Chain A
Amino acid sequence: MRENVVIRTVSRLAVPFIQVFALYVIVHGASGAGGGFQGGVVFASSFILMMVAFGLVEVRRRIDNRGIMIFSVMGIAIYAGIGFLCLLLAGNFLEYGVIEAAVGIPHLHGYLLDAVEAGIGITVMAVMTSIIYDISDNRGEAP
């Protein structure tokens, strides 16, 4: 691939901001527009930018198929774990109020909501990244 200093430098600067914005969207989901799905997609888009600037191989070194597998399972495990915890504490699925009542920390349901959103975000990020890998994979040949 031809070296392009401008693209690489701008990407290097932009990626952290995109990722922080993604986290903001995820956390904002509890109280307004946003949420795990949108945040996860924004996060995955930072990987697309990295792929454009540094190539597929470079990005795959940072998050490989194994990482994707771990992240996608971890995200859904957080989501379902909190859901099942509510069931154990005699509430309905994802009824955060019962956990708040059991633990006794005020406003805990808000944090739990954030945790669930984060779980969704992680899974969406991982799955989006794997889709990008699949459609941009050129069977191991150099780009």
Chain B
Amino acid sequence: MTVINHLPVLLIAIPILASLLIFAAGWYDRRFAYPITLITVLFQFTASVILLLQVMQEGTIRYHLGGWAPPLGIELVIDSFNGFILAAIMLLAAATVVYARRSVEKEIEQEKIVSFYVLFQLLVTGLVGMTITGDIFNLYVFLEISSIAAYTLISASRKPHSYVASFNYLVLGSISAGFILLGIGNLYVATGTLNMAELAAILPASYGLATVHSAFLFLMIGFSIKIAFFPLHLWLPDAYTESPSAVTILISTVMAKVSVYALFRILFSVFTTAYIIDSFPVTGFILLMATVAIVAGAVLAIAQDDLKRMLAYSSISQIGYIMFALGVANQIALEGGLLHILGHAVMKGCLFMVAGMIIYRMGTSKLSELKGVAKTMPISCAAFALAGASMIGIPPTIGFMSKYYLVLGAFEAGLWPYAVVLLIGSLLAAVYIWKFIEIAYFGDHHDNHHTSVREGPLSMLAPMVCLAVLCLIFGVFVEVLMEAVGPAVILLLGGV
């Protein structure tokens, strides 16, 4: 028995302890709050990478809390699917924490900084818990931890609009949590177990039951609200726009991706492909809604005049791509979908970091006031252009690779009209990304009264540039990623 064996539980227990330590240490001196958060998140990142490598070499890790075997106790499971997601979200969380320090100092009131980091840490912990738990009710508990932390964090910038955004999200989030809880309850009624692996084994016998169908619908709708799948996205634009920059980055990358993960996990590992294709054919509908989401999100993004709000609508469009993979549900498309989970997190994280940087220096994210910003903030705008190229899907970026796999998957399934929609989505993405590029690089510099602004501090620039470069590196060395993604997809489709 070494520390490595206990990493799964340490990944949750240490950060929960740390969040209270931040609270206590911050009581003595506010300056302690940030270093503890940083160390904890870096620890989580390291641990997640170690776990991913271990899973890739030795297979699934199962950890029984309290030594109780699964039907009775709660287990933590790390397999090739959530190992990949875990490493991806912790990479983004680590980048966000590095970025957060200066941005938070500027945007949050001094006396609220300690509680901000406590909630920040709890949000990350809740999301990690959601990712590695093997128990469906435990998933719900962690979902609530992370959601409540997120509601509070969104309102942390203390503007009137952020309260409204937070309240809207609170209402919709609670409805979604209610749906998810009902779904879990129905599954428990039908099977008598809450363990995911057990559920997958017992459920096929009752695939015909109305209880199971309603459970599926409840879970599907609940998580669709959480991930902001197109018609249920109404909370997202306000929440992303009004929250402090660091929070926007965290919820748009880490939180959104974990919710997507949870949906995939429920659909493929609790229910199976056999259920969602044969017993309760829902993939066609998901595919249709995903294409609507891709186009509608992109069109709405083009219509915005605020940088952050534009990126928020772009997230709705990109979620459509991931759900598209779910709708096609063959190996290649799912590989593309998983790549896009990582890729979108990296590029959207970078884009929101640029938006946060512009707000940090200029105090606004209105596109009309950003004319010629590239002359004063060249590095940020270059990072935006690179991540934006990835968003459009220009080779050799990660965005191109994931969309390429999606298109291939759609062709393989004979869904070529849908593949055309993917390309239209890319063209629309080019329009809204170009809208900022044009204003930043070719806008008339002299209309602008912010001529004296400079680039932001290094602690904000470094993670931004790292993520922008990662868009490129992941795209070029996509084979390395596929070694992690390939087994994950086989696992989702019911292989080993």
A97 touches B13 (CB 8 A): no
Q: Which of B1, B6, B16, B66 has the most CB of A within 10 A?
A: B66
Q: Which residues on A sit within 8 Å (CB–CB) of B16?
A: 76, 80
Question: How far in angstroms is the closest Cβ of chain B from A92?
Answer: 5
A92 touches B23 (CB 8 A): no
Cα(A87)–Cα(B7), bound, Å: 11
A72 touches B67 (CB 8 A): no
Q: Which residues on B sit within 8 Å (CB–CB) of A7?
A: none
A69 touches B13 (CB 8 A): no
A69 touches B24 (CB 8 A): yes
B17 touches A77 (CB 8 A): yes
A76 touches B27 (CB 8 A): no
Which residue of B is nearest A70, CB measured? B24
Q: Which residues on A sit within 8 Å (CB–CB) of B17?
A: 76-77, 80
Question: How far in angstroms is the closest Cβ of chain A from B28?
Answer: 10
Where chain B touches its partner, the secondary structure class is helix
Q: Mark A78-97, 1 if CB is under 8 A from B, else 0.
A: 00100110010011111111
Which residue of B is nearest A69, CB measured? B27
Number of interface residues, chain A, beta carbon within 8 A: 19
Question: How far in angstroms is the closest Cβ of chain A from B202?
Answer: 25
Q: Which residues on A sit within 8 Å (CB–CB) of B9?
A: 83, 87, 92-93
Partner of B63, one of A76, A77, A92, A96: A92
Decide yes or no: A73 and B67 within 8 Å by CB, A80-B13, A90-B1 being known contacts.
no
Decide yes or no: A87 and B27 within 8 Å by CB, A80-B16, A95-B67, A97-B67 being known contacts.
no
Number of interface residues, chain B, beta carbon within 8 A: 17
Q: Which residues on B sit within 8 Å (CB–CB) of A84?
A: 13
Cα(A7)–Cα(B442), bound, Å: 73
B66 touches A93 (CB 8 A): yes
Partner of A66, one of B27, B64, B65, B67: B27
A76 touches B66 (CB 8 A): no
Question: Would you list 17 pairs from A and B whose C-beta atoms are within 8 A, ordered by A residue?
Answer: A69-B24, A69-B27, A72-B20, A72-B23, A73-B21, A73-B23, A76-B16, A76-B20, A80-B13, A87-B9, A92-B9, A92-B67, A93-B6, A93-B63, A93-B65, A93-B66, A94-B65
- 12 further A-B contacts with Cβ under 8 Å, apart from A77-B20, A93-B9, A96-B66, are A70-B24, A72-B20, A73-B21, A73-B23, A80-B16, A80-B17, A87-B10, A92-B6, A92-B64, A93-B66, A94-B66, A97-B67
Please list the residues of chain A having a beta carbon within 8 angstroms of any beta carbon in chain B: 66, 69-70, 72-73, 76-77, 80, 83-84, 87, 90-97
